[in-house]
Amino acid sequence: MNNAGYGVPGTFTESDWQVHQASLDVMLNSVTELTWRLLPGMQARRRGFVVNVASLAGLVPSSARHTLYGATKAFLIKFSESLAMENLDTGVAVSALCPGFTYSEFHDVTGVREQVSQMPSWMWMEADEVVRFGIDSVTRQPPRVIAVPGRANRFIAMLAHKLPQRLAQRMTQKESRRWRKQD
């Protein structure tokens, strides 16, 4: 599993470019390069799995104050979709795992633990559940190219896909105000 990531809190212009560049190096370049380096060996063996850990954030309208996070996760989803199509006949399965809120140190590192701890428990998943779902998704026949663990997360993804874009954006904007630091 390619699982590299962190959020840069605050508005886009609050952080120096070097901070954003470092984030892009971890969130995009490292995942893309690692896949590029390992995929030929898998193709040669005619077996293997690539699981890119994206996020539900890549499937819903992006929220303010974590500007690059959703955008980079959307890239990972599209990257995984393309790789999956390219590898249909190679024996290599590719999946984008798109978890929602997962108990981990992620929210401590980004400094939003206090805010997100107020969210309802039904929105959260345990890390081992997410990992198990990701492995099951890429190893099943046919593999799930976009794997969204948890009923609540699948409902949110479906809602974001079905609602008119302006309405989905307004709903995301309203909810993100509740859960993001507004300094």
- Residues taking part in catalysis: 69
**Strand, coil or helix: 64:** coil
Say how far apart CA 20 and CA 7 lie, in whole Å: 10
Structure token pair of residue 153 = 């997360």
Report whether 24 contacts 74 (CB < 8 A).
no
Cα 23 to its chain centre, rounded Å, is 14
- Taking CA 20 as the corner, what is the angle to CA 16 and CA 25, rounded to the nearest 5 degrees? 140
Of 146, 36, 157, give the one whose Cα is nearest residue 95: 146
Sign of the Cα torsion 23, 26, 32, 36 reads positive
Amino acid, single-letter form, for residue 77: I
Say how far apart CA 117 and CA 175 lie, in whole Å: 14
